[in-house]
Homo-oligomer: A and B are copies of this chain.
Amino acid sequence: MKVTINDVAKHAGVSMKTVSRVINKEPSVRKKTYDQVMLAVKELNYQPNTAARNLAGTSSFAIGLVYDNPNAYYIIDMQNGVLSRCKEEGYELVIHPCNAQQEDMQAEIATMIKRSRLAGLVLTPPLSEQQPIIDMLDELGVSYVRLLSGHNEDDAEKARNCIYVDDFAAAYEITEHLITLGHKHIAFVCGDEEHKSTTERLAGYKQALADHQIAFNEAFVHNGTYSFESGVQGAKALLEDGNRKQITAILGGNDEVAAGALFAARLMNIEIPAQLSISGFEDSPFSRQTWPKLTTAHQANDVISEHAARLLFSKTRGSRNQDKDIITTFTPSMVVRESTGPAPQ
């Protein structure tokens, strides 16, 4: 019934340690021995016991994914990306949703790490941006990978455990797209202020305006959160203002915000895109399920998180498995759908 490493060892005529070497893909095992052992493993249908490995080994065979993000699509993509890598490496994934605002966040994460002796951690925004958490992790000596907004900077030391999404570039591209369509009064409904992605996207938007000699108008920026509701309110606020006559395009902080803006426009009987262009960010399934479908910037969260996991494993497993194909900066690319069009006269 229960097959242990000892059974396999006997069956293959080698020592337990050799079997251990084989299943851990350690070097210094002759091909012939390797095959013998693998055969025995197959024949007995041996499953290494995770608990025992975790206990005996230096670090456990589990990594953690920490997030505080209400966007289900985002989370699922993140999970699946990391999970696929974990499967590949024979690791388990411990998911940990949490509340970034919470006082003792660091303590909670530290507890989780200790309890499960996690081999590493993948941190998603906004938690990846919180210095106290990073400090705690450094102190604990746990390896981690941060998902961040921005691009791989000069600071190579820090960059070594960061994966960037270039929101600046994405915002720039979308804004330019709108400008090319003739829009001159482009509003921006921002996501949460404290998220780096918000500042990055805002900066990209501003830069595009500047590069095309369009004056930046503070009144065209509405601060909100990354939610549908916030998009509704933001768009309403912008459009109900005397500005309505001027604004011909709205950039939503993400797809949900854009969908909210779409909703608000509908309430106000504004035709999209004839009277108003709207675009989002991220290209979540959501953006294909609105009417009209959203122009947005495609961001492959599952691929991104898979690379985050790769990067983590390349550090965790020491020398072997030096994955050199890890992309550390992702630049979303624009997807033009039906929610943007030429500026009205």
Contact = CB atoms under 8 A, between A and B. Distances in A.
A76 B83 contact: no
**Secondary structure type dominating chain A contacts:** helix
B51 A55 contact: yes
A155 B94 CA distance: 36
A49 B228 contact: no
Interface string A14-45: 00000000000000000000000000000000
**Which of the four size classes fits the interface of chain A?**
35 or more
A49 B51 CA distance: 10
A95 to B, nearest CB: 6
Interface stretch (A114-122, A128-136, A156-164): A114-122
A263 B94 CA distance: 38
A97 to B, nearest CB: 7
Contacts of A256: 289
B80 A50 contact: no
Nearest to A263: B291
Contact of A259 (B47, B94, B289): B289
Contacts of A260: 289
A117 B266 contact: no
Contacts of A263: 289, 291
A52 interface: yes
B55 A83 contact: no
Interface string A262-303: 110011000000000000000001101101000000000000
B50 A116 contact: yes
